[in-house]
Structure 1
Amino acid sequence: MTLPFVGDEIVHLDSGTFMWVQLTRFLIEPDQDDRSLLESLIESPGYQHDYASPFPSRGGSEPSDWGIHGRWRIGAIHPDLFEPSTAEAAKAEINAWAKDQEWTDPEYSQPPDVIQRLESIFTLLGSGPVLKLRNPSREAEHDYGFVTGNLGFHEFIVIDRVLRILHVIVASDD
Structure 2
Amino acid sequence: MTVPLVHTGHVFINFANQTFQWVHIHRYELPETGASDTALLAALIRDERFGDNYASVLGSDPERHGPYWRDRITPDCYTHVEAEGVERHLRSWAEQFAPLPEHLRPELQREVYRPLHAADRVYQLRDLGRAAFHDWGGVHNEFHEFVVIDHAARTMALMVAADD
Distance in 1 (CA, whole Å) between partners of 2:58 and 2:6 is: 15
TM-score (norm 1): 0.83
Aligned length: 159
2:29 aligned partner, one-letter code: L
Residue 59 (structure 1) aligns with: none
CA RMSD of aligned residues (A): 1.9
Are the equivalent residues in 1 in contact too, given 2:53–2:61 (CA < 8 A)? no
2:5 aligned partner, one-letter code: L
Deviation at 1:76, TM superposition (A): 1.1
Deviation at 1:21, TM superposition (A): 0.9
TM-score (norm 2): 0.88
Does 2:97 align with 1:94?
no
Deviation at 1:139, TM superposition (A): 1.3
Residue 5 (structure 1) aligns with: 7
Matches within 5 A, 1:91-170: 91-100=87-96, 104=97, 108-120=98-110, 121-128=112-119, 129-147=121-139, 149-150=140-141, 152-170=142-160
Does 2:30 align with 1:39?
no
Are the equivalent residues in 2 in contact too, given 1:14–1:114 (CA < 8 A)? no
Residue 75 (structure 2) aligns with: 79
Deviation at 1:14, TM superposition (A): 4.3
Are the equivalent residues in 2 in contact too, given 1:29–1:164 (CA < 8 A)? yes
Gaps of 5+ in 2: none
Cα deviations by residue, 1:102-151 (Å, 9 ceiling, x for unpaired) = xx4xxx5211112221111211102221111102111111122232x21x
Are the equivalent residues in 2 in contact too, given 1:13–1:20 (CA < 8 A)? yes
Deviation at 1:74, TM superposition (A): 0.8
1:12 aligned partner, one-letter code: N
Q: 1:35 to 1:24 in 2, by over 3 A?
A: same
1:22 aligned partner, one-letter code: H
Q: 1:116 to 1:70 in 2, by over 3 A?
A: same
Matches within 5 A, 1:14-53: 14-30=16-32, 31-53=34-56
Q: 1:156 to 1:55 in 2, by over 3 A?
A: farther
Distance in 1 (CA, whole Å) between partners of 2:61 and 2:156 is: 19
Distance in 2 (CA, whole Å) between partners of 1:158 and 1:45 is: 18
Gaps of 5+ in 1: 57-63
Q: What's the % identity of the aligned pairs?
A: 32
Are the equivalent residues in 2 in contact too, given 1:13–1:19 (CA < 8 A)? yes
